[in-house]
Amino acid sequence: MTPEKRSIQAAFSQAAQYDSAASVQAETARRLCARIAARLPISPANILEIGCGTGLLSQHLAAAFPQAQLTLTDISAAMLARCEARLGAGPSYLVMDGESLEGIAGKFELIASSLAMQWFTNLPGSIANLTRMLAPGGRLIFATLGCHSFQEWRQALATLDLPCGLHDYSSAAKFPFPDGVMARIEEEIIIANYQSGHEFTRGLKTLGASSPRAGYRPLQAGKLRRLLTTLNGPFAVSYHILTVEIEAPKSPQAPRSAR
């Protein structure tokens, strides 16, 4: 595992209070499961979830598809344990890097993921690998962050000419699909309201979502203080959510567009 991945894994493992700061994640999971239920032609027998975290999406999947065998996975054993505490003994649980898929066998009618794949280092390669794990006619449906996420924070930093440690995310138009894969992609903005810029940064830490992009050097205390002074009142932050759907061919051949 790369040092960058180890740091992501460690940050999420320490996020014991994740659910207390996860209102956008909870809303995204609720909307994603509603979309999945509306899009799937038949009830899936086998579902694989990537980056299940504490189980915000998993609990909706379990309720929407009670007959399905759920395989819930996360790179962090601590997050997976929190998920197991929420969902109990029915599903299978596996500590796994969603980019390696080590330890997973079989085919899935549904592979789902909510707000985890923005942490991937090779998104097109990982999407191609996940697509190969789909049963004929199966769907890969995931929500991830788009380029307008946190634009208010990025703007506040740019105004003071300070570097931003947040990762860059793709637009819907330039989403890095693997060659030959056509997909359906939808986008929406969810606004999170914080009492201040400081509350926003604290929230990211509580979520375990504070691993900066490679090469970023944390702001000196004085610069951070100056920034937070400018954001010392109600602070609305955009989460730009991209929902991607890929359908496997009904008979084995190249993946095609979801309609």
Ligand X SMILES: C[S@@+](CC[C@H](N)C(=O)[O-])C[C@H]1O[C@@H](n2cnc3c(N)ncnc32)[C@H](O)[C@@H]1O
Q: Which of 29, 72, 183, 219 binds ligand X (CB under 6 A)?
A: 29
Strands 235-247 and 184-194: antiparallel
Instruction: Give the whole-angstrom CA distance, residue 22 versus residue 86.
Output: 15
- For ligand X, the closer CB: 144 or 227: 144
Closest contact distance (angstroms) between CB of 254 and ligand X is: 26
Site for ligand X contains 33 (CB under 6 A):
no
H or E element that contains 38: helix 23-39
| Cβ atoms 130, 140 nearer than 8 A | yes
Q: What is the DSSP string of 91-116?
A: SEEEE--TTT-TT--S-EEEEEEES-
* Site size toward ligand X, by CB under 6 A: 25
Range in contact with ligand X (rule: CB under 6 A) among 70-78, 156-164, 210-218, 234-242? 70-78
| Closest-CA residue to 234 (of 194, 203, 200, 199) | 194
Range in contact with ligand X (rule: CB under 6 A) among 47-55, 84-92, 196-204, 226-234? 47-55
Range in contact with ligand X (rule: CB under 6 A) among 93-101, 131-139, 145-153, 245-253? 93-101
Range in contact with ligand X (rule: CB under 6 A) among 40-48, 68-76, 177-185, 195-203? 68-76
Site for ligand X contains 46 (CB under 6 A):
no
Percent helix / strand / coil, the chain, rounded to 5: 35, 25, 40
Site for ligand X contains 116 (CB under 6 A):
yes
Q: Which two tokens mark 118?
A: 């923005």
Residues of the shown chain interacting with ligand X in the complex, contacts defined by CB under 6 A: 8, 12, 22, 25, 29, 50-53, 56-57, 74-76, 79, 97-99, 114-116, 119-120, 207, 209
